Amino acid sequence: MARKIGSRYAAHQILGRGSAGTVWLGEGPEGPVAIKLLREDLASDQELVGRFVQERTALLGLEHPHVVSVRDLVVDGNDLALVMDLVRGTDLRTRLDRERRLAPESAAAIVADVADGLAAAHAAGVVHRDVKPENVLLDMQGPLGPGGSHRALLTDFGVAKLIDTPRRTRASKIIGTPDYLAPEIVEGLPPRASVDIYALATVLYELLAGFTPFGGGHPGAVLRRHVTETVVPLPGIPDELWQLLVQCLAKAPASRLRAPELAARLRELLPLLAGMPPLDVDEPGAEQPEDAPGAAEEPEPGPGPARSGEPVRRRGAIPLVPGARPAGSNRDTHTSMRVPAPDELAGGARGTARAPRASGAPRPGSARNRAAVRRRRVALSAGALALAAVVGVGAWLATSGDDADANPQDTKHSAPATP
Ligand SMILES: Nc1ncnc2c1ncn2[C@@H]1O[C@H](COP(=O)(O)OP(=O)(O)OP(=O)(O)O)[C@@H](O)[C@H]1O
């Protein structure tokens, strides 16, 4: 039976669940819609209410074929709901979990679409701050694009922010998902449009490789790698595409391309990439999870294909919403965390990021390598414990809100930013 949402909408069927609520297939006065309904037990949570309002605010007046439009915000008793354009399809994470890696042409076409959506958001003065495969929807009803890919749309502007909000002090809090966080965010600088480019380049790398360039293990180690490590080339990637990736993953924000240029450059590359199969990249170092603090108690594999054909499980993010992980979901969600001090970033909880290797090359986690890994782990454990102490789980969840230009959701104030 349909559930009424306010006076104008009815929710018919669950399409998916996120950390803060459920997305329903619904009906409104103008036809089918998607309705994101805040979980009832979270209705009194000002932080999450702020996210819903923020999403509506950020997208006011933004209409673009590669952005999911928000049509309405409904407040009705305990119900708080965002009414969005319905995208008939799936999200990019689901597709990536299913296929492990995408063909370069398809990956480039999807990322070009998202870059177009970002270009529109940036032109409207909005930085998304949480670009990741979970927040890209694929429209499977529309016509197919290059490489047989579906039109991609950027969604979930719940932590979006106006680009030029003045700020007085260095940020003390990080909002985002560790694997996709630009180094300047980790260093406490204000989020500019270039953070979205870095995150989107990370997504492109992930679509091609099956894992993110700096992900895996303890969140503190992931943050540090963004700042200190350089990305390792993917075997078999065409040089032009690699150069584009490297430029957009530059540590210096000013060196990255802007969104319209990224979209254009990717589209120029499509003929070159046409017909190329997915890259032959095998899983990164199998020793990865063992190095992480607490890894012994958590036998989950790191990024890369999971054992026994299970979907990939990524660690490294602590849900912003306590107890919010949807049943059966292995998704990370965005996180609110403390900015590490410079000396914390300089030291290493772990050695280097996982080096991609061509399929068939010796596995870093093989018996041959295990003794060396063990030796290295002993040497690293002191550093790992030190970093875990300063960037520990408790700190991530209990950050103090002294960020000078924090969003409503950052500081638990309820007033939304206005454009
Ligand atoms: N506009 C939409 N049209 C169709 N399906 C949607 C739409 N928005 C979201 N969904 C579906 O609902 C699911 C949950 O979306 P939601 O934005 O709540 O969560 P998420 O982004 O996966 O996680 P989180 O909110 O925790 O970051 C998505 O994975 C997608 O499958």
pLDDT digits (tens, 9 = 90+) for 271-324: 999 999 999 998 776 444 444 443 333 333 333 333 333 333 343 333 333 333
Whether residue 243 is contained in a domain is answered as yes
Total residues found in the chain within this entry: 419
What are the residue ranges in the chain where pLDDT is below 70?
A: 161-173, 285-419
Tally of domains in the chain: 2
Under a CB-based contact definition with an 8 Å cutoff, are residues 177 and 414 in contact? no
- What pLDDT, on a 0 to 100 scale, did the predictor assign at position 343? 61
pLDDT score recorded for residue 180: 96
Residue 159 has what pLDDT?
73
Residue 18: the pLDDT is 81
Integer Cα distance of 334 and 219 in angstroms: 12
Which residue, judged by its Cα, is nearest atom 27 of ligand 1? 333
Confidence (pLDDT) at 148? 79
- Token pair recorded at residue 395: 């700190």
Q: Which of 292, 304, 287 is nearest to 391 (CA)?
A: 292
183: exposed, middle or buried (Cβ count in 10 Å: 0-12, 13-18, 19+): buried
Q: Tell me the residue range of the domain where 60 lies.
A: 1-86
CA-nearest residue, atom 26 of ligand 1: 19
The pLDDT score that the predictor gives to residue 279 is: 97
pLDDT at 84: 93
Residues 164 and 175: their CA atoms lie apart, in Å, by 17
Amino acid found at 98: R
CATH, residue 58: 3.30.200.20
Asked, for residue 194, whether it belongs to a domain, the answer is: yes
Domain limit, last residue, from 44, 62, 86: 86
Q: Which residues sit with their C-beta closer than 6 Å to ligand 1?
A: 15-20, 23, 34, 36, 68, 84-87, 91, 134-135, 137, 155-156, 331, 333-334
Q: Are residues 51 and 151 in the same domain?
A: no
Q: What ipTM does this complex have? A: 0.96
Indicate whether 370 belongs to any domain: no
SS3 track for 93-157: HHHHHHHCCCCHHHHHHHHHHHHHHHHHHHHCCEECCCCCHHHEEEECCCCCCHHHCCEEEECCC
- Angle among Cα 255, 260, 263 to the nearest 5 degrees reads 95
- With both helix axes pointing from N to C terminus, report the angle between 367-390 and 219-228 in degrees, rounded to the nearest 10: 100
| Catalytic residue list contains 280 | no
Q: For ligand 1, what atom is nearest to the CA of residue 23? A: 12
Predicted confidence at residue 314, as pLDDT, reads 41
Which residue, of 355, 389, 414, is where some domain finishes?
Answer: 355
CA dihedral 151, 202, 327, 8 (to 10 degrees): -40
Q: Which of 25, 57, 86 is at the close of a domain?
A: 86
* Rounded distance between C-alpha atoms, residue 412 and residue 408, angstroms: 6
